Structure 1
Amino acid sequence: MPNDHDILHALFEAALKAALPDGKFDGCLPGKPKGRTIVLGAGKASARMAAVFEEAWAGAGGRCQGLVVTRYGHAVPTQSIEIVEAAHPVPDEAGLEAAKRILALAQEAGPDDLVVCLMSGGASALLSLPAEGVTLADKQALNRALLKSGAPIGEMNLVRKSLSAIKGGRLAVAAARAQLVTYLISDVPGDDPASIGSGPTIPERVDPEVALAILRRYGIDVPSHIVGAIRSNAVTEPVEGGAVHMLATPKMALDAAAAKARELGLNALVLGDALEGEAREMGRVMAGIAHSALMHGEPARAPCVLLSGGETTVTVRGQGRGGRNAEFLLSLALSLKGEGGVSAIACDTDGIDGSEDNAGAWFDSGLFESARAKGIDLAAHLETNDAYTAFAQLDRLVVTGPTLTNVNDFRCILIRP
């Protein structure tokens, strides 16, 4: 059997492959319209989605045009769909201009046209078009506060869409005269279409007071004009959102990793695809489950892997270089106290753990010996949210570059007797 490092990385690769849009449009393409096919999209996976859709559409005898915005460094070559890059997680002017153009293209679509919307994680920041009375600087400041607050992604996106002129179904309103089809790659717990990229084409009526309550809950103070904008930006008119197709989900990625594990002779248990909470607390909980599997064969008998997905959060306390997956992994390792027979990997499937250049990290039973040899205080690194630095010094970062997909976090604990 391969070593721990190779097994962990092979399972991560299997998960990534399953999360790509390649081949996923087969069987779910709409009929060709009398008029134009206009492709619009946003997210970390949107450029790859556009390229794959373009090829599938051409194979069906169709032509298309359009505009998709993705994160810097995530563009891919396309034939007729324009790809624009912008900032994530804090919006910038490039994203603002792209959002204006995308909204205008939707508004121009007529009754004979087909609007295809490609959405994936990251669209909330990339497709940033503030509501009336709100500036880009306002949204940038609010995004920074939300990212540091420890709020779960669903609550962050609810606040974001409450201040958007394009999200929360508002793009569907703009394209109401045309036929609309939406394709999604999910990065949210539960795969709620309204939460993926803040649901630009998913009509949703949200009480503005809910968004204001979230801000209060996390101690985020906003100026009075922001409060007024949230209250006056509610979606009130009914609109049809069109057909929705889910191309890839966290569960698909975890199931692919489980299948690969079984090929390698390992028992595989998927603990869940929507686990949320503080990263370091999740690490402690998973350490207890791993210990039980090692000692008692429950909930899975070794040799086995425990797989999970979802999105943890980090409440920033220190000034270190972190990332939620690295923080989870360091907490897991410390909680296991060097217990033999356990190794693990934790990565963001988009290739970026927070704002660093790594997807995540991994460790095996040699972690503590290596740390002692280099004089690295792992507990101190966790306390200051500096897990990235610790794993970098120990040569245990996982660096993939842009993966061109995004189905949220991938966590795998390998247990051998």
Structure 2
Amino acid sequence: MTDSVFDVERIRKDFPILSRELPGGRPLVYLDSGNSSQKPAHVINTMRDHLEQHYSNVGRALHVLGSESTEAYEGARDAVAAFIGAPGRDEVVFTKNASEALNLVAYAFGNPVGTDERFRLGPGDEIVISEMEHHSNIVPWQLLAQRTGATLRWFPVTDEGRLDLSGLDELVTERTKIVSIVHQSNVLGTVNPVADVLARARRVGALMMLDASQSVPHRPVDVAALGVDFVAFTGHKMVGPSGIGVLWGRRELLEAMPPFLGGGEMIEAVWMDHSTFAPVPHKFEAGTPPIVEAIGLGAAVEYLTGVGMEQIRRHEHDLTVYGLEALAEVPGMRIIGPATAEERGGTLSFTIPGIHPHDVGQILDDRFGIAVRVGHHCARPLHLRFGIPATTRASFYLYNTTDEIDALVRGLHHVQKVFG
């Protein structure tokens, strides 16, 4: 059992909300970290301390509070850069979430302000995504295609929930300007074969981006080792606060990209008829940034590093193995995604014949205090591909236990009795 190797009970004590008792005396069973994770006391206390003792705007005040706030904000950038193996701190751009990070890169393509050939996009050029993407990695590219006349193409998904690479060479061609795929699916749990896709992208001269919102919180991710050009992820899924995300990009590409937003702090100098821009990453951080949220993300990175990302990956792998076996006991259960834990994260999405996921989620919550997510999880095209309108999703994290998975299985048996 993973709990005897990984001190999950000690971890759970770091998260105040996990000791909460719900109405009716129900203990909280939180299985919705793929949606948003809970926060440890270290993150909560760091943010509170900054607001109480150090808060000021950053990069523009010479007084003590301004210096302390700027130092903490930029210290968070250093922490994030180290956490993801970024070659340089200037390659870490703070955004408000992963969606903004993805939109930032999509905006750079086909923008008339940009002159770099790699970002010129028009009719005849192609963008490649996949059928398993979150809407945040679909809609920005749809808008880009509409704006430029480029063509949007995508990898299909196999019945087992894996990326179908059988047509890789026909899909990623000399017309491809960028490939943007999810690193780990938020519905299927699938961890995609980045190296295979990247090798083809490099062969044809295309850039490559990863949506790593579901991988960076759960496994060691080294952007230099991955070798891609851009990586986006978000703070609220990695025990950090909402309102803060990250775009990592290779420095020379960030320098070649036009600014995404204009305003204070992203400028070098301004005249009435033109402006020059600050060096990266500040060129992409217009206006007052999410200061306390960035500092909270830095604290989250400290916490996860202290636990150990490889330890977290192993714990979740064991939970996934246990969860796949346990859910198989539920009659009629259909797991949407890989049936084994190989190259798979701790996200289990499923359907039960004759019972709508909304009913499943409501009964689990009302009767047992079990928090799961129901719906299409911002991945409607993937659900359409499997011929279903919605799924129930249980997603695991470092603070979950096998006992909570057992509670989920008991809850699902009860759901079936209710609809008997």
TM-score of the superposition, structure 1-length normalised?
Answer: 0.31
TM-score of the superposition, structure 2-length normalised?
Answer: 0.30
